[in-house]
Amino acid sequence: MKNVALLVAMGFVFLLSILFFNFRLETRIQTDGIYVRFFPFHKSFKHYSWDAIDQFYVRKYSPVGEYGGWGIRTGQKGEAFNISGNQGLQLEFKDHGSLLIGTNKPEELNAALDKIGQLAF
């Protein structure tokens, strides 16, 4: 019985590890808005239109202090999609909601915003 329990526990840890290694946060900046998908939780991209966004900017943040960690989180400053790091694209919506999208490539993010004519402020 002890061997069976050990095998079940090892199988569970193995499957959980596979799940964690497959986490991906994909962000697309396009002329009609921002698209974001946190795979495997979001099967398709969520679209945030430029018309719905009041302001946006790249900023440093404290994942644990502001949102309680990494993942799909809700904190005092709104929602966050983040996997690692401490930089992200902060979206402030006209309906007073907010979303932080984590990034490990803030320079590329600013370049993409500049390329389509949406400069972060």
3-class state of residue 79 by DSSP? strand
The DSSP code sequence of 38-68 is EETT-SS-EEEEGGGEEEEEEEE--HHHHHS
Confidence grade of residue 22 (pLDDT, cut at 50, 70, 90): confident
CA dist 73 and 67 (Å) reads 6
Confidence grade of residue 121 (pLDDT, cut at 50, 70, 90): very low
CA dist 103 and 75 (Å) reads 18
Taking the model in full, what pTM does it have?
0.77
Give me the chain's average pLDDT, please.
86
Which H or E run includes 58? strand 53-60
Q: What is the pLDDT of residues 34-91, one digit of tens each?
A: 999 988 888 899 999 999 998 888 899 998 888 888 888 887 788 999 988 899 999 9
For the chain, what are the domain ranges? 50-115
The DSSP code sequence of 7-30 is HHHHHHHHHHHHHHHT-EEEEEEE
CA 115 to chain centre: 22
The mean per-residue pLDDT over the stretch 5-31 comes to 87
Taking the alpha carbons at both ends of the chain, their separation in whole angstroms is: 61
